[in-house]
Structure 1
């Protein structure tokens, strides 16, 4: 499967401000090629390190096809960066991307690690009531990426899926499991090592609690 990068977005300064803190969610497209490091894109800002960033959430991708759905749903434009994404893609089915699949984009090798959990900051950024619930129900979460090989990316780069694990668990399924289908939590055991390292202990505890409840 191949697709392309339509835009590369960074938040050179955390311009979106909440009453008591700042956020790097307000990202904008930038021209030219952008360096990609182990923990993210050159010029990007990740303010709340506990929930954002790190090796397993270095880069966030969102599909134009899913943005098109939200534009129709809300009756407004959602240009690249509106989801707080670093990469706006087209031709890549992010909902059905398999956890652990690897992409070659420009000179960077990425690995798909996780789904995005909508938060209150996202809801405030869009100023859409009940956005968290609506985003969860729709389930097009975008995909977090780990950087396996650093390099550069730019708009127009082809996205090539170079490998895909055979376990078959997708970003969309993982999201449903941790949100609306928690009885399925044990299904995450085979992919736990692929998820962001900071999320693994908590999910392991949830899985153990669910397995214990069944015993």
Structure 2
């Protein structure tokens, strides 16, 4: 398992975002590194966990619980076959393009060591948006991406440090529950009845998803 590509984005004016200033950092491009990784601060004020990476819409992106976004090269390759077009690493707006790591099957609270210093923890899945669809230029992309369910993972920074493209990735902690990235994605998108099962992940869940699960149980039961 390794970090195949390390990707950073810069502010770019586009017509397809609803962000107030009309800019986005979704178009991420590979860099060799090293890049400093650290917790960026609370959502709404903190941006990316990677130095030099732009987060323009802090209403929905960035902050400690969404500090880093990872997507598997194997899933990008599958989309290449489906869409019939090349999809370079970073094209989905991911900071980390991984190789040999099952991100869809990763568990909430799972921890990865990247290189010799950095430890990241899986917090939630990515929810597709209008900006993602506009960036890809695929009609009906939000629905199609949601139906596929390979959403990639947001991560929080547990131990800061520097990472480089090519660094090894090691799973250093795997929780004993069964709340995977894919289950969490289904629960908050197309299968709300799965929300109670997410509570097994406890405080490792993204706070917004933990709140949604608790509210569902309070209203409908488990």
1: CA distance, partners of 2:25 / 2:217: 31
Is the CA contact (8 Å cut-off) linking 2:183 and 2:194 kept in structure 1? Answer: no
For residues 204 and 26 of structure 1, the distance between their equivalents in structure 2, rounded to whole angstroms, comes to 35
User: Which of 72, 78, 81 does residue 81 from structure 2 map onto?
Assistant: 72
Higher alpha-carbon deviation: 199-208 or 106-115? 199-208
Superimposed CA distance per residue, residues 127-159 of structure 1 (whole angstroms, 9 cap, x where no aligned partner): 101111110111100111110010011111111
- Could you tell me how far apart the structure 2 residues matched to 1:179 and 1:207 are? 16
Aligned to 2:6: 8
Matched-pair contact (CA < 8 Å) for 1:114–1:195: yes
- In the alignment of these two chains, the number of paired residues is 209
The root-mean-square deviation of aligned C-alpha atoms, in Å, is 1.5
Q: Shift of the alpha carbon at 1:189?
A: 1.6
Q: Quick one: structure 1 residues 16 and 91, their matched pair in 2 at CA, closer, same or farther if it must change by over 3 Å? A: farther
1:55-134 to 2 correspondence within 5 Å? 55-106=64-115, 107-134=117-144
Where 1:104 maps in the other structure, the secondary structure is strand
Query: Given that residues 16 and 25 in structure 1 are in contact (C-alpha distance below 8 angstroms), is that contact kept between their aligned partners in structure 2?
Result: no
- What is the CA deviation profile of residues 171-212 of structure 1, one whole-angstrom value per residue up to 9, with x for unaligned ones? 01111122222112111122241122354434432443332x
CA distance in 2, matches of 1:99, 1:210: 23
Q: Which runs of 5+ in 2 are unaligned?
A: 41-48
